[in-house]
Amino acid sequence: MSVEQCVGEWWNDNLMWDWDDKLHEECGVFGIYAPGEDVARLTFFGLYALQHRGQESAGIATSDGEHLSIRTRVGLVNQAFTEDDLKLLPGHMAVGHARYSTQGSSVARNAGPMVTQSSDGPIAVAHNGNLTNAMNLREELEEEGERFVTTTDSEILTRLIAMTPGETMAVKLRRAMARMVGAYSLCILATDRILAVRDPLGVRPLCLGKLAGQWVVASESCALMTIGAEFVREVQPGEIIEIDEHGLQSHMPLLPHRHAMCLFELIYFARPDSVIHGQRLHLVRQRMGEQLAREQPVDADIVVGLPDSAIPAAIGYARASGLPYTEALIKNRYIGRTFIQPDQRLREVGVSLKFNALPEVLEGKRVVLVDDTIVRGTTSKPIVNMLRQAGATEVHMRVHAPPMMWPCYLGVDLARRDELIAARMSVPDIGRFIGADSIGYLTLEGLIEAINVPGAGFCTGCLTGSYPVPVQLGMDKLVLERV
């Protein structure tokens, strides 16, 4: 067993103690076709910008036009690659993957991109999303002679694309898409070209950029800015982008399809400096906070945002309410996920490892605390208590999203339904559980109004239980490991 495999098995068997009661991210994908550029290095920095989307493993595959090279490793992007690794990734085109496990454990063999042989040679696929029919596809492919070495739906769709007949990679991909149900934004590397595709629903984001006349694709536009590339546009739902020595070609679907982008990409997942639906998310989230203030006003002294994701909404809430916005919680941005387990004393202080309150700011104040989600309530409760201990006389929780009552099956590692506090308690009961003086959520109608993209379709599955594709309600991310 390799060192990476050993680390991966340890990570899986000893999941780090995580007091951060948040939605866990999905994956980030990146692709570049740029002759004359150090594409491995650019891909590294592109993945570095997408690190918020996945912190469990990272991988880069490159091609020089004849051969594919690949490096994958468990860990953060800056831990996964050294200068020596990048030297072993030659070529003028690359795809990269930053993974958070939404299907399959966090072990080395599940790290992307996934590589397999096709009739046109080897391909490497970086995938963000989830296939809801992964189990059925795997059984069908096994009956056709395929043998799997991972427990991810990413390998399933990679092998499906590779074995699908077609005179070109774009044709193979379009035919394979007809059998794929769920969410997928893909960057695909063949020996002589790159393809990028977004599922017909457009659940996960994907965008297109230019760097010195060459093409780049990424999950979010923040990755383009990081490497100095120009944002061109978002990849359309169902669109296949093909990039080779002749330039870029777009293949649009023959039939229109309703769209269902994940609302939480706009609420929480994507970086606030990214552009989605033609809008900078920092400003979109400010509007969510403004709408929240109109729907859920409260008599208070200051507005505080839970760092970092709720700060734009807190700014918006303060602006609309006329209350001053202030920083009263300081986040330790390096605590993250660690292999080192806290002892019992540190477990008891818990959230203080990640946040510290400022008593001088909070003393004698009635506080509006703005957050983006409450998943289990296990973080909200100690933070409310921390504010009180620092001198706040009242704490009013305001959430710039509706209550999350259902799991996600389309690319987010979310709690089971019986773990979701809003599925078990009424809103007033949640407020009492976390110790807040009052609590208020943004309505779904208010959220859509704040996003302000008329005619856009969104997935509301985790909020309403109504999913845009068929799902298996008992499915969990380890289902393929029980095959």
Q: What is the 3-state secondary structure (H, E, C) of 189-251?
A: ECCCCEEEEECCCCCCCCEEEEECCEEEEECCHHHHHHCCCEEEEECCCCCEEEEECCEEEEE
Residues 6+ positions from 151 with CB-CB distance below 8 Å: 103, 104, 105, 110, 478, 480, 481, 483
| Contact yes or no for 289/315 (Cβ under 8 A) | yes
Average pLDDT for 63-85: 94
The answer to whether the peptide bond before residue 273 is cis (omega within 30 degrees of 0) is: no
The pLDDT assigned to 199 comes to 97
| Contact yes or no for 252/236 (Cβ under 8 A) | yes
Confidence of residue 348 (pLDDT cuts 50, 70, 90): low
> Is 207 among the residues known to form the active site?
no
| Out of 334-343, 350-359, 423-432, least confident range | 334-343
Q: Which amino acid is at 475?
A: M
Long-range contacts of 81-85 (CB under 8 A, 24+ apart): 81/44
Confidence of residue 205 (pLDDT cuts 50, 70, 90): very high
The pLDDT assigned to 342 comes to 58
| Cα 399 from Cα 373, distance rounded (Å) | 6
The pLDDT assigned to 13 comes to 33
Strand order in the sheet with 247-251: 114-118, 121-131, 182-189, 194-198, 240-244, 247-251
| β-pair partners for 210 | 215, 230
In the chain, where the domains are located: 3-260, 285-453
| Cα 377 from Cα 219, distance rounded (Å) | 29
| Contact yes or no for 257/237 (Cβ under 8 A) | yes
Percent of all residues in the chain with a pLDDT value above 90, rounded to a whole number: 78
Residue tagged 């409260």 (tokens): 298
Residue 309 has φ and ψ, to the nearest 5°, of: -70, -25
Chain mean pLDDT for the chain: 89
386-445 pLDDT, tens digit each: 999 999 999 999 999 999 999 999 988 777 899 999 999 999 999 999 999 999 999 999
Confidence of residue 167 (pLDDT cuts 50, 70, 90): very high
The pLDDT assigned to 358 comes to 97
Confidence of residue 336 (pLDDT cuts 50, 70, 90): low
DSSP code string of 317-333: HHHHHTPPB---EEE-T
The pair of structure tokens assigned to 398 is 């305001």
| Cα 306 from Cα 135, distance rounded (Å) | 38
178-195 pLDDT, tens digit each: 999 999 999 999 999 999
| Cα 9 from Cα 14, distance rounded (Å) | 8
Which one from 6, 27, 207, 459 is the annotated catalytic residue?
27
The pLDDT assigned to 256 comes to 77
CATH for 285-453, options being 3.40.50.620, 1.25.50.10, 3.40.50.2020, 3.40.50.300: 3.40.50.2020
The pLDDT assigned to 21 comes to 61
The pLDDT assigned to 415 comes to 75
| Cα 287 from Cα 308, distance rounded (Å) | 17
| Short-list 235, 256, 252, 226, CA closest to 48 | 226
The pLDDT assigned to 15 comes to 33
The pLDDT assigned to 146 comes to 92
| Out of 22-36, 93-107, 119-133, least confident range | 93-107
The pair of structure tokens assigned to 64 is 């020089």
Length of the chain: 483
Q: Which CATH class is domain 3-260?
A: alpha beta
pLDDT at 16 over 80: no
pLDDT at 7 over 70: no
pLDDT at 10 over 50: no
| Cα 81 from Cα 343, distance rounded (Å) | 31
243-279 pLDDT, tens digit each: 999 999 999 998 878 899 999 999 999 999 999 999 9
Most confidently modeled of 30-39, 105-114, 147-156?
30-39
Percentages (nearest 5) of helix, strand, coil residues in the chain:
35, 25, 40
Residues 6+ positions from 91 with CB-CB distance below 8 Å: 39, 40, 62, 63, 64, 65, 69
Average pLDDT for 369-395: 95
| β-pair partners for 303 | 325, 368
pLDDT at 20 over 70: no
Q: Which amino acid is at 153?
A: D
End-to-end Cα, the chain, rounded Å? 22
Average pLDDT for 382-386: 95
| Contact yes or no for 191/122 (Cβ under 8 A) | yes
The pLDDT assigned to 478 comes to 44
Residues 6+ positions from 304 with CB-CB distance below 8 Å: 314, 325, 326, 327, 328, 329, 367, 368, 369, 370, 387
Beta strands in 120-166 (DSSP E): 121-131
The pLDDT assigned to 111 comes to 85
Q: CA torsion, points 44, 50, 51, 54, in degrees to nearest 10?
A: -110
